[in-house]
Chain A
Amino acid sequence: NAGVTQTPKFRILKIGQSMTLQCTQDMNHNYMYWYRQDPGMGLKLIYYSVGAGITDKGEVPNGYNVSRSTTEDFPLRLELAAPSQTSVYFCASGDNRGSEKLFFGSGTQLSVL
């Protein structure tokens, strides 16, 4: 059982480049989330999705885009990368069948130089 899988694990970008962080889950969860974690800080919600075709902004959405074409996949797009986007990115998924439990991926360490 793979759970939530994120790729890549590490990436270095130059300022102005773009990239997509991949996230896929095999638990048939409706809900998926992207968080970022800065050093010494808690996680902050970037975007979330409550099902295929439905996405919404979280606390810190600027500079990011998402799409949800399938239940399994929820990619996060960075356009025009900036040093402020240097962070660890976590994808998570869950269902709304009462457990209120999130399953997290192992994270993507991104550096923008």
Chain B
Amino acid sequence: AQSVTQPDIHITVSEGASLELRCNYSYGATPYLFWYVQSPGQGLQLLLKYFSGDTLVQGIKGFEAEFKRSQSSFNLRKPSVHWSDAAEYFCAVASSGRGSTLGRLYFGRGTQLTVWP
């Protein structure tokens, strides 16, 4: 069965510092992987996704993630964090099955990011 582990519940960084949020997945086939961000009181917004090809994917807001099959990881990174990046971040893997995998996602429990000024 598919599963996603985000080992860090809460991370605090200073504004301007670099950021890495960890994500490990369990999936039998080639995974479809996603990172979503949730601001307080809002729905989720897609940051980036990996389906195939280049293992380093670029997303919105200056985020990137690297797929490492050997480590079953899909860590999210940003070189310099801004105060507006404070939010909750979710890693997700898409399930397989008939038709499109769109939306049939398994989410990690999330990592809450706090940014110090």
Residues on A lying within 8 angstroms of B by beta carbon are 4, 31, 33, 40-45, 48, 50, 58-59, 90, 92, 94-96, 100-107
User: For chains A and B in complex, what number of residue pairs have CB atoms within 8 angstroms?
Assistant: 69
Asked if A100 and B100 sit within 8 Å, CB to CB, the answer is: yes
> Number of contacting residues on B, CB 8 A?
26
Asked if B109 and A94 sit within 8 Å, CB to CB, the answer is: no
- CB A9 to nearest CB in B, in angstroms, measures 9
Q: Among A94, A95, A107, which residue has its beta carbon within 8 angstroms of that of B43?
A: A107
Asked if B100 and A31 sit within 8 Å, CB to CB, the answer is: yes
If over half of B's interface residues share one DSSP class (helix, strand or loop), that class is named, otherwise mixed; here it is loop
- CB A16 to nearest CB in B, in angstroms, measures 29
Distance A43 CA – B110 CA, assembled complex (angstroms): 9
- CB B115 to nearest CB in A, in angstroms, measures 20
List of 4 A-B pairs having minimum Cβ-Cβ separation, nearest first:
A104-B43, A42-B107, A96-B100, A33-B103
